[in-house]
Amino acid sequence: MSTPANVDPRTGSRWILGDKFEQVYPHLGSIDNLWNKKWKFPCERSLYPFHDGKYEDFAPIFETLIQKGIHDGYSVEYTKEFLPTAERLSKEGDELAKAGKKQEAIDIYLRACTVYRIARFPYINSDVKEAAYKAQKDVYMKAAALFETPIEDISIPHTAAAPNDEGKQIP
């Protein structure tokens, strides 16, 4: 006889998550459900994971994803739908910064970062998502350079790096 997935086989006690451990959430496998049942509400209020973002940036993207039948958030096609909006916002931020409108530029840059962040959700599994992550970081650093107390991206030498570490620098 097998032990149910929500029970610790060593002790017989139920996991803290209980029945939630086996629950299949309605938004899985459907961008339509993800948007309309889970993400639309926080997006309208600029809540996680949409903090610093605007609903008007995301609604058209998700409408397009739904219309095109792109339901795999792990796919390159999903990520690519976000990039034109993020790139447009980034360029708008550049223009505002050039015009000396610091706070407006910061706000637009952070909106672009939010679009890039959702483009690479749920995790980075492709070169396209990796590029979105790098673009997100670059745009964030543009915003951070304009903060009242600017943030600078530095790398610290990782002198104790092991051969299997990711590099010889710590960002």
**Per-residue H/E/C for 48-83:** CCCCCCCHHHHHHHHHHHHHHCCCCCCCHHHHHHHH
Give domain status of residue 130, yes or no: yes
Whether 169 is covered by a domain: the verdict is no
Q: Is 109 a member of any domain?
A: yes
Residue 71 falls within a domain, yes or no? yes
Predicted local distance difference test score (pLDDT) of residue 28: 78
C-alpha span between 90 and 95 (Å, rounded)? 9
Instruction: Per residue of the chain (171 residues), give pLDDT as tens.
Output: 566 666 777 777 776 766 666 777 777 779 999 999 999 999 999 999 999 999 999 999 999 999 999 999 999 999 999 999 999 999 999 999 999 999 999 999 999 999 999 999 988 999 999 999 999 999 999 999 999 999 998 999 988 877 777 788 888
Distance of alpha carbon 159 from the chain centroid:
31
Which structural domain range is residue 94 located in? 25-150
Q: How many domains does the chain have?
A: 1
pLDDT of residue 101: 99
* Res 4: pLDDT: 64
What pLDDT score does 3 carry? 60
Phi, psi of 14 (to 5 degrees): -75, 145
> Is 139 among the domain residues?
yes
| Residue 2 domain-assigned (yes or no) | no
Residue 160 lies in a domain: no
Q: Judge whether 80 lies within some domain.
A: yes
